[in-house]
């Protein structure tokens, strides 16, 4: 006698690969802190994300400047899904805040010329000149002018500054006034 047995075998496959994105625009003009967060649906983990010839294995793409991005998701089965034309736009706010005066009188308040957010531009140089065009000080992000030239306080008055970010944007040019 032959005994027949029935077995049920289930063959499944993953849901089709798809994705959605959430973007965070760069916080101000010229800075690279935008993000694209990719939410993957379906496919088989692990996932790899390709954008601008970069390949990463995490779903949040960070440090992005303003621009248009295409992201390709590849799963463990080499299935691909592409999201095209993801746009990041700078908020039209200037990152750099440049005070127009300071008081280097050693009272502990406003004693140095502090340019807010200059550290976001590590290639920047800051130049200060007197009214005759003589260079009095050159600084980098993290350095603040204390109102001196050759270790002596400069006279009260206006001084020309040039801040070059060296990122392809036009330099900032203006006047900072030293007040005692």
From the DSSP assignment, how many helices (H) and strands (E) are in the chain? 0, 14
Q: Which single residue is written with the structure tokens 């080499």?
A: 78
Query: In terms of CATH architecture, what is 18-88?
Result: Sandwich (2.60)
Least confident piece of the model among 3-7, 104-108, 132-136, 171-175: 3-7
Burial class (CB in 10 A: 0-12, 13-18, 19+), 28: middle
Summarize pLDDT for 72-131 with one digit per residue, the tens. 999 999 999 999 999 999 887 888 999 999 999 999 999 999 999 999 889 999 999 999
> In CATH terms, are 18-88 and 101-178 the same topology?
yes
Q: What is the pLDDT of residue 67?
A: 94
On the question of pLDDT at 10 being above 70, the answer is yes
Given a cut of 70, whether residue 17 has pLDDT beyond it is yes
pTM, whole model, 2 decimals? 0.64
8 A C-beta contact, residue 82 and residue 19: no
Q: Is omega for the bond preceding 93 within 30 degrees of 0, making it cis?
A: no
Tell me, what's the pLDDT at 3?
Answer: 72
pLDDT tens digit string along 123-165? 999 999 999 999 999 999 999 999 999 999 999 999 999 999 9
Q: What residue segments make up the domains of the chain, in order of their start?
A: 18-88, 101-178
Question: Who has greater pLDDT, 10 or 34?
Answer: 34
So what's the pLDDT on residue 55? 93
23-71, pLDDT tens digit by residue?
999 988 878 899 999 999 999 999 999 998 899 999 999 999 999 999 9
Give the HSE-up count for residue 34: Cα atoms under 13 Å, Cβ half-sphere: 23
pLDDT for res 1:
67
In the CATH hierarchy, which top-level class contains the domain 101-178? mainly beta
Q: Which residues pair with 173 in a beta bridge?
A: 162
76 is written with which tokens? 């463990």
Q: Which residue has the higher pLDDT, 168 or 64?
A: 64
């Amino acid at each position: 006698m032959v005994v027949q047995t029935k077995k049920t075998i289930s063959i499944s496959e993953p849901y089709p690969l798809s994705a959605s994105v959430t973007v965070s625009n760069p916080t101000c003009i010229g800075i690279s802190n935008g993000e694209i967060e990719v939410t993957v649906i379906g496919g088989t983990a692990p996932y790899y994300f390709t954008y601008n010839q970069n390949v990463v294995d995490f779903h949040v793409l960070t440090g992005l400047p303003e621009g248009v991005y295409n992201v390709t998701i590849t799963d463990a089965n080499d299935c691909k899904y592409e999201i095209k034309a993801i746009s990041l736009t700078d908020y039209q706010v200037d990152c750099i805040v440049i005070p127009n005066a300071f008081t280097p009188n050693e009272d502990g308040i406003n004693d140095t010329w502090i340019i807010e957010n200059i550290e976001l531009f590590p290639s920047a140089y800051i130049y200060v000149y007197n009214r005759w065009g003589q260079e009095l000080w050159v600084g980098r992000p993290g350095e603040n002018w204390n109102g001196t030239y050759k270790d002596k306080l400069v006279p009260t008055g206006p001084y020309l500054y040039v801040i070059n970010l060296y990122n392809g944007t036009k330099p900032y040019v203006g006047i900072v006034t030293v007040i005692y």
